[in-house]
Structure 1
Amino acid sequence: MELHTLFPAHIAEMKLRANNLCEREGYDLIAIHAGQVKRQFLDDMEYPFKANPHFKAWCPLGNAPHSWVLVSAQQEKPTLVILSAEDFWQEQPNLDREAWLNMFHVELIARPDQIDRLLPYDKSRVVYLGEHIEVAQALGFTHVNPEPVLSYLNFYRGLKTEYEQQCLRRANEIAIRGHLAAADAWHAGASEFDCLLAYMKASKQGENEVHYPHIIAQNEHAAMVHYAGRSTQALPFNQQRSFMLDAGANWAGYAADISRTYAGVAASDEFAELIMAVDQIAQALAMEARPGMAFAELHSRGHLQIAQLLFAFGFCTMDPVDMVAKQISHVFMPHGIGHFIGLQVHDVGANLLDERGLLAPTPKHYPKLKTTRELQPRMAITIEPGIYFIDTLLNQLQDSDYSKNINWQRIAEFAPYGGIRIEDNILIHREGNENITRELGLH
């Protein structure tokens, strides 16, 4: 189904949420600020603009600084305020072909401060949502990002409309094109930097357009979970051991977040088998997730399955259940098994128990787990099991009482590969889950 046919129902649901929130909290108007550009320190250059995600929830314009969405319970349509300045330095929004515009009452302003003319003089029942507190204060707002409002909106952001689900599918389509191109480039002998270029060419998106920097890691670099280097050195084929690619895409403000790991010509058969085993865990967990399950339970299952791999491949002689209880598995997978995804790559609301802001409890054994909410239909999550050989964590393990349970020779054999991560994007449905990434052709 085309996105423009789904957008009216999306706006209707957003408007219903806003109306309910205003009635509950006693507000007349919610003013959502897209944000404004930020100048670099001691420079006349600006950082890439990133719109307020609460603005993007209403408006798919990604590059519209100084714009606003004004939502009033008394008006049927929200008002979209766009800065349309006579500025030959900057590209101006082109609204002529936007089919979704009829869902808004549109106002154009020539200067950012002209928003004041569209706001009520008495702002005692008006809320500002955005990051620019100085702008809110200058305009006379007294209610700036109130916690009850943010908790309510963040909680419901976890439930994706049909429009949002389709945006996530489109983002995955774009990311998959990039993944296939980057993998082909690597198999042909390209450097990390050249793989990045191949990814951007195929996805037709630059790094400033996507939600997070692409992670493109060869060999030992894959041990760094958020590796940011971009080596320009192409490795000889007899040194190509592993390639980890964690990269996404953007569609109308919604993110894809996909990871794959490949064995090179210099890799052992066992490393290729370990990749396949992690891949099987990823697919199994994607189907095990179900409405009513706490995400922490899914995380716990993931750790147990990783621990079983550590035992089966001879890395640790401890019973897998004990391995999880003693947090040995955390050494090899130090991150969560996944996270919410949407307008932000780590989308909000993942730890909320209800719309009032009560937090879902963090499990005792996973005190740093950020995604603790109970799964429901219409939620979008990632599943990303991994096994890494990280020097810092392994050194701590070697100095612990559990060192005797570790086969350090096996660790040394696999350390040159860095690590493995497999990540898919999943939609939770009432009748079975949708693995967006797999169903769109990336295996």
Structure 2
Amino acid sequence: MTLYADHIATVRARFDQALAATGYDSVLIYSGQPRVAFLDDNPAPYKVNPLFKYWLPVTQSPKSAVFYKAGQKPVVYLHKPRDFWHADIHVELEPWQQYVDLRIVADVADIARDLGAELQQAAFIGEHFAEPVAQWPVAAHNPEALIHHLHFHRAKKTAWEIDNMRAANLRAATAHNAARDAFFAGASELEIHHAYLAAIDCREQELPYNSIVALNEHGAALHYDVLATQRPESSRSFLIDAGALYNGYCADITRTYARSSDTLYAELVQRVDQAQQELIAKIQVGMNYRQLHVEQHLMLAQILADLNVVKGTPESIYEQGYSSAFFPHGLGHFIGLQVHDVGGFLRNEQGDHFDRDTRHPFLRLLRDIEANQVFTIEPGLYIIDQLLEPFADNADFNWQVIDELRPYGGVRIEDSIVVKAEGPHENLSRNAFAQLG
């Protein structure tokens, strides 16, 4: 647990700095609890507060909390109710417990009773919609200054965090291979999804996000999550965007496959994959992520020109907005405790923000690149009729070629990259596939 020891030392230092900078004595991080549906008593799947699992690898302990006072050993309250309705909660002896003061509570109210007057000095971070937590007399609820300070520094991952993300990517790659094989065997979207889950013994609610499993033209819907139950007459293409979790850390991988290797679409898949890898090789500490995004647009514009989809030079295709009709989303995002991890618009720890880019409004990351950041690189090219409609009478667009590509939907390739101070950078996703052989 040497990596974890270093990690929790870093987390403590970051909280010490954030508390001092924002004037709070201590912090109470609530793990959260399930919410029930409207007019129902059936709860939605529980998702832990990311700042709770920042401290410790515990993701399925609702109504628990971490109390941290600057410079002192963190106190972890794990909720273990006396409840004959549900399976008993077993608190396994794990190495991380030696770095905290672990206290088991049968009632969430025991947390406030144990803290006493300390509670009034603590900033509360987390959801507080339910009693008795809603009425706790804390110093503040989710103060923005404190959260901004923490989120700004969370962008740089510790060695322990990166190690967890390696494991998450290995799980996801294992499942991706199973999904790929199911596609080539002619499975439906739902059958492919089931193969994905079975490959890693995972329930759907244990994934970091809803998987995108898209056959044929469905690949043109960027967040497609229908999971059709019927097998199509012909499975021409397959786009899968799906991840996995390990110790609360996320993997987010996208792959695209063409059933036939001798089609224009198959060439498009190969070219986008190549462009993605070439862009990753250009990543440098100190450059701005938006610069990468624009460079990827130019590379994709070259593909559009080479495949006779659009006329023009890469520069003219980009400047006239043509490339955005085929590549409308951002190049990528921070990833870690959350799939779309926080801090992509923060200029500094004080919480000043970058304005959202008007040319590229869906770009989630505008910061300069630093060592130990982890972000995705996910270019794509799609045939989306809604985005092509404004160019219906434009002679620069080769509508015959576009019609040829339309039944395939689109292409997206996504990997997670660990930035190194001195390259080469670590590609968590491709390394995971390579490890599987």
TM-score by length of 2: 0.95
Task: Deviation per CA, 1:83-140: give whole Å up to 9, x if none.
Answer: 1111122334422232211111011111122221133426553200012256554001
Aligned to 2:238: 243
For the Cα contact (< 8 Å) 1:255–1:344, is it kept in 2? yes
The whole-number CA distance in structure 1 between the counterparts of 2:91 and 2:165 is: 23
Q: How does 1:30-429 map to 2 (within 5 A)?
A: 30-75=27-72, 77-121=73-117, 123=119, 125-133=121-129, 137-236=134-233, 239-265=234-260, 268-398=262-392, 403-429=394-420
Task: Deviation per CA, 1:350-402: give whole Å up to 9, x if none.
Answer: 11111111123544532442210111000001110100001211123326xxx
Opposite residue 436 of structure 1, the aligned amino acid is L
* Identical counterparts, % of pairs: 39
Aligned-pair distance for 1:314?
A: 0.7
Aligned-pair distance for 1:420?
A: 0.4
What secondary structure sits across from 2:205 in the alignment? coil
For the Cα contact (< 8 Å) 1:133–1:144, is it kept in 2? no
What secondary structure sits across from 2:35 in the alignment? coil
For the Cα contact (< 8 Å) 2:123–2:140, is it kept in 1? yes
The whole-number CA distance in structure 1 between the counterparts of 2:412 and 2:124 is: 40
Worse-superposed segment, 120-129 or 66-75? 120-129
The whole-number CA distance in structure 1 between the counterparts of 2:3 and 2:145 is: 29
Structure 1 residues 74 and 427: alpha-carbon distance in aligned structure 2, compared to 1, 3 A threshold: closer
The whole-number CA distance in structure 1 between the counterparts of 2:152 and 2:115 is: 27
Opposite residue 259 of structure 1, the aligned amino acid is T
Q: Gapped runs of 5+ residues in structure 2?
A: none
Aligned to 2:432: 440
Aligned-pair distance for 1:440?
A: 2.0
Worse-superposed segment, 96-105 or 306-315? 96-105
Structure 1 residues 37 and 264: alpha-carbon distance in aligned structure 2, compared to 1, 3 A threshold: same
For the Cα contact (< 8 Å) 1:295–1:373, is it kept in 2? yes
The whole-number CA distance in structure 1 between the counterparts of 2:226 and 2:119 is: 48
Opposite residue 258 of structure 1, the aligned amino acid is I
Aligned-pair distance for 1:79?
A: 0.5
For the Cα contact (< 8 Å) 1:28–1:126, is it kept in 2? yes
Aligned-pair distance for 1:286?
A: 1.6
For the Cα contact (< 8 Å) 1:26–1:125, is it kept in 2? no
Task: Deviation per CA, 1:247-270: give whole Å up to 9, x if none.
Answer: 0000011100000000014x6422
The whole-number CA distance in structure 2 between the counterparts of 1:118 and 1:307 is: 61
For the Cα contact (< 8 Å) 1:168–1:256, is it kept in 2? yes
Aligned residues: 433
TM-score by length of 1: 0.94
Structure 1 residues 164 and 41: alpha-carbon distance in aligned structure 2, compared to 1, 3 A threshold: same
Aligned-pair distance for 1:441?
A: 2.2
Structure 1 residues 149 and 91: alpha-carbon distance in aligned structure 2, compared to 1, 3 A threshold: farther
Opposite residue 413 of structure 2, the aligned amino acid is I
Opposite residue 275 of structure 1, the aligned amino acid is V
Aligned-pair distance for 1:21?
A: 1.6
The whole-number CA distance in structure 2 between the counterparts of 1:367 and 1:198 is: 35
What secondary structure sits across from 1:259 in the alignment? strand
For the Cα contact (< 8 Å) 1:182–1:195, is it kept in 2? yes
For the Cα contact (< 8 Å) 2:380–2:413, is it kept in 1? yes
Aligned-pair distance for 1:320?
A: 1.7
Aligned-pair distance for 1:74?
A: 4.4
What secondary structure sits across from 1:228 in the alignment? coil
Worse-superposed segment, 202-211 or 86-95? 86-95
The whole-number CA distance in structure 2 between the counterparts of 1:178 and 1:409 is: 36
What secondary structure sits across from 2:41 in the alignment? coil
What secondary structure sits across from 1:119 in the alignment? helix
Structure 1 residues 134 and 226: alpha-carbon distance in aligned structure 2, compared to 1, 3 A threshold: same
